[in-house]
Amino acid sequence: MLREIVLDTETTGTDAKNGDRLIEIGCVELINHVQTGKFYHQLINPQRAVSEGAFAVHGISDAMLADKPVFADVVDAFVAFCGDARLVIHNAPFDVGFLNMEFAKLGPAAPKPIPLEDVVDTLLLARRKHPGAANNLDALCNRYGVDTTRRVKHGALLDAQILAEVYVELLGGKQTSLGLSIAEPAGSVTVAALPDSGSVGPRPIRSRLTEAERLRHGSFVESLGTNAVWREYLEP
C-alpha cells in the first residue's frame, strides 16, 4: 500500500528566511494514488501581519487569524496526520522551506526537518513532462481538464485537493497501469490497453496539448530548418 500526503500552505508573504510565517496548512491523503477523503486543515496565527500581496492571493486577513492557534499548538496533530507518508507538493522548496523554518523555531523538541529529496515535487514532474510549457497549477488544471470553478482565491486545502487530481494526471491518468478488465472508469486515459477479442488494436491517446502549445511547437520545428537529420524519419 502506497500512502501519500498532498500538501499545500498559505503564508504571510514569500520569504521564510526574513520573518514571513505559515498561516494555513491543507493536506489530503492518497492511498495508491486515490483520494481517501481523509484530510488535515488548519489556520494558524502567525503572530505578525499578513502582507498586502499575500492577502490579494489567498484572502486570509489578520482578523481571520487572530483567534487561531499558533504553530507550536498544532504541529503534533499535523505531524501525526502525515506520519511516514511521502509528501507531494507543487514547488516543494517553497512549502518545505516554510515548514522547516517553523520546525526550527520550536527548538530541541521540534520534528526533524523535511528532506527536500524525499518530497515529490509536481512542478518538476510537470516540467519534465511538458518542457517549455506553463506548469503552474492553473495551467496544469486547464491542460488536464481539472475543475477549478470552486476556486475563487488560493486556499491550502482546496489547492491540495486540486493538486491531488493533477498529480494523478501527471502519473498517466486515473488508470496508471495496464488494465486487465474490460470496464474502466469514465474519462480515464490509458497509455496502452490489452486488446480483447473484438478489438483491432490499442485506442489512440487523447492529445493534451493546448492550441498555444501546438503552435509554439510548430514554430520551433520550422526554426530548425530543412536539413535537420531527424526530418528523414518524419517526411515520406
User: Which residue numbers are catalytic?
Assistant: 154
CA-wise closest residue to 50 among 91, 106, 10, 17: 10
Which is it for strands 120-121 and 86-89: parallel, antiparallel or unpaired? parallel
Instruction: Give the separation between CA 158 and CA 164, rounded to whole angstroms.
Output: 10
Q: Considering only CA atoms, which of 90, 92, 97, 172 is closest in space to residue 138? A: 90
Count of all residues that appear for the chain in the document: 236
d(CA 170, CA 126): 7
Q: How many other CB atoms are there within 10 angstroms of residue 70's CB atom?
A: 14
Burial state string for 77-116 with b = 16 or more CB within 10 A and e = fewer than 16: ebeebbeebebbbbebebbbbbbbbbbeeeeeeeeeebee
**HSE-CB of 182 using CA atoms within 13 angstroms:** 4
Euclidean distance between CA atoms 46 and 23, whole angstroms: 6
Q: What angle do CA 179, 33, 78 make, to 5 degrees?
A: 170
Which residue in 121, 41, 127, 117 sits closest to 89, CA to CA? 121
